[in-house]
Structure 1
Amino acid sequence: MTVTDIDVLPNLRDLGGLPASDGRRTRPGVLYRSALPAPGDARPTAVAEWPVRTVVDLRSPREFAARTHPLQSDSTAVHLIPLLTDTEVTAPSQGARLADIYQGILINAGEQLADVLQVAATAPGPVLLHCAAGKDRTGIAVALLLRIAGVEPGDIIADYVSTNEHMPAVLARITRFAPELGRAHPHDRDRRGAVPDAIEGVLAQWETYPGGIHAWARANGATNETIRRWIERFTE
């Protein structure tokens, strides 16, 4: 069987190798990000270890329930941690700034982001984070994990923006493998791609929070032990 571009999971990458604080770097083979996996995907070549041991699916309950997760197996656990409600996912977003949508996630889903941190710090790895496009909800959750580990904002923004290289493949895959998303998911939001000022606003909120990103995470339910375990696990 010939493998075509649409058979390959897009926007998949290992977030290891990024510079972190105190001269450390993020460790490969711990944290991946991607767009929505599909049944029958070819084995990816973009990462060294596959399949992953843990998946964090950031979609809403209705998106998640549309079909069995293709990576669910005896050796791969899938955790549903929605960062948007079903209503928020399907609400028309014409004219809405991505920056405002992102700020809404910080306000309304802070505890869920702390849950993402908990899974990333304690579940078997590699851990894969994804939503539908792997851009907005995934972008915020990845930014949280990177920043807690000491990755600088500029490197976080660069990783976020690199998603734009994959958006044509992402949109084609949604149309083919998840037509229900094509009808319900506001594609205008996806066609805008990854917008730097949206993630910059998220990072600014964490930077200006009294005590910084670690204090913000604790205020939303994370523990010092979870933060310590994540830094120890993800950096070297």
Structure 2
Amino acid sequence: MTDRESDPAPGSTAFVPVPGVRNLRDAGGTGRAGTLRPGRLYRSGSFHTLTPEGAQRLKALGLRTVIDLRSAAELAGWPDLRHGLDHETLHLPTFPDDRESGDRSWPESQADLYLYLPRYAGPSLAATIRRLVTPGALPALLHCAVGKDRTGLTVAVLQSLLGATDAELTADFLLSNTGLGLLDGPTPYVDETGTERVSRPVTAALLLSSLHWIRDTFGSVEAYVLAAGVTERELSELRVALGS
């Protein structure tokens, strides 16, 4: 990771520079995420290259919970580093285990991924909401590998439940292109297995395709999480816990 990748975007107050953690930013803020207030929920890439200095900066955020959306294989290959941090970590993978057992429905294109994500993210989202409303759980941080796709949809659903418009959702979602150095196009990287892959920029159309699938299938984002097992009471508690 270069200094350029970890520094805040020019003119953006959302990014939090933490050495060894990519794409870390506040998911809340006036005019950015409905009523989700700043300092409650953060998002980022994984902590597998977190430095001791970075840990001190994370400590200053007061994190009580870190929710890891990666698969078991990713955790085994790139475990998060802590350097003495005392937050609780929960493993709530977005994707089902059959991804790793040869599920033929696993998407091959980026467009297919964003139709696959909402089909399977429900249990992870419900468990995430349940954790966020637990007393003492906040501030919290959500992350996957680079904080772009799985984290992107999860955070967008939470922001939507806090009243964010589609324009606000996509504007925040697109900041990952800045946070990951993807403004100039796809970038190669080596994954946790040592395989060379390509990280592709996100577009507003990708997130909107997920949201349209949710609304076409369930009627609303709220109905989607209720169908996943979230209760009306938990939704109310989420809005109180995260909202302004």
TM above 0.5, yes or no, is yes
d(CA) in 1 for partners of 2:32 and 2:146?
Answer: 27
Contact 2:21 2:50 in 1 (8 A): no
TM-score (norm 2): 0.77
- Listed one character per residue, the Cα deviations across residues 60-115 of structure 1 (whole Å, up to 9, x for unaligned) are 0111123542138673110101112466379899x933232122122123122211
Residue correspondence of structure 1 range 53-92 to structure 2 within 5 A: 53-71=64-82, 75-85=86-96, 88=99
CA-CA distance at 1:131 after TM superposition:
0.5
SS in 2 for 1:75: coil
Aligned residues: 224
CA-CA distance at 1:173 after TM superposition:
11
CA-CA distance at 1:50 after TM superposition:
2.5
d(CA) in 2 for partners of 1:72 and 1:79?
Answer: 17
SS in 2 for 1:43: helix
Structure (1/2) with the larger helix percentage: 1
d(CA) in 2 for partners of 1:100 and 1:62?
Answer: 22
CA-CA distance at 1:19 after TM superposition:
3.6
Contact 1:9 1:44 in 2 (8 A): no
Q: Are 2:123 and 1:111 equivalent residues in the alignment? A: yes
CA gap 1:11/1:207 in 2 versus in 1, 3 angstroms = same
The residue type equivalent to 1:203 in the other structure is: L
Name 2:37's counterpart in structure 1: 27
d(CA) in 1 for partners of 2:32 and 2:175?
Answer: 19
List gaps (5 residues or longer) in structure 1.
Answer: none
CA gap 1:172/1:39 in 2 versus in 1, 3 angstroms = farther
Contact 2:117 2:210 in 1 (8 A): no
Contact 2:114 2:206 in 1 (8 A): yes
Provide the aligned C-alpha RMSD in A: 3.5
d(CA) in 1 for partners of 2:30 and 2:78?
Answer: 34
Contact 1:33 1:138 in 2 (8 A): yes
CA-CA distance at 1:208 after TM superposition:
3.5
- Listed one character per residue, the Cα deviations across residues 31-62 of structure 1 (whole Å, up to 9, x for unaligned) are 00011112425338998943521000000011
d(CA) in 1 for partners of 2:100 and 2:167?
Answer: 28
Residue correspondence of structure 1 range 39-50 to structure 2 within 5 A: 39-40=50-51, 42-43=53-54, 49-50=60-61
d(CA) in 1 for partners of 2:51 and 2:232?
Answer: 40
d(CA) in 2 for partners of 1:226 and 1:43?
Answer: 33
Aligned with residue 12 of structure 1, among 7, 21, 24:
24
CA gap 1:131/1:52 in 2 versus in 1, 3 angstroms = same
TM-score (norm 1): 0.79
d(CA) in 2 for partners of 1:96 and 1:172?
Answer: 18
- Listed one character per residue, the Cα deviations across residues 166-204 of structure 1 (whole Å, up to 9, x for unaligned) are 2239x99965xxx63442xx723x2x2212211011122
Contact 2:189 2:197 in 1 (8 A): no
Q: Are 2:143 and 1:130 equivalent residues in the alignment? A: yes
CA gap 1:99/1:124 in 2 versus in 1, 3 angstroms = same
SS in 2 for 1:140: helix
List gaps (5 residues or longer) in structure 2.
Answer: 7-18
d(CA) in 1 for partners of 2:100 and 2:156?
Answer: 20
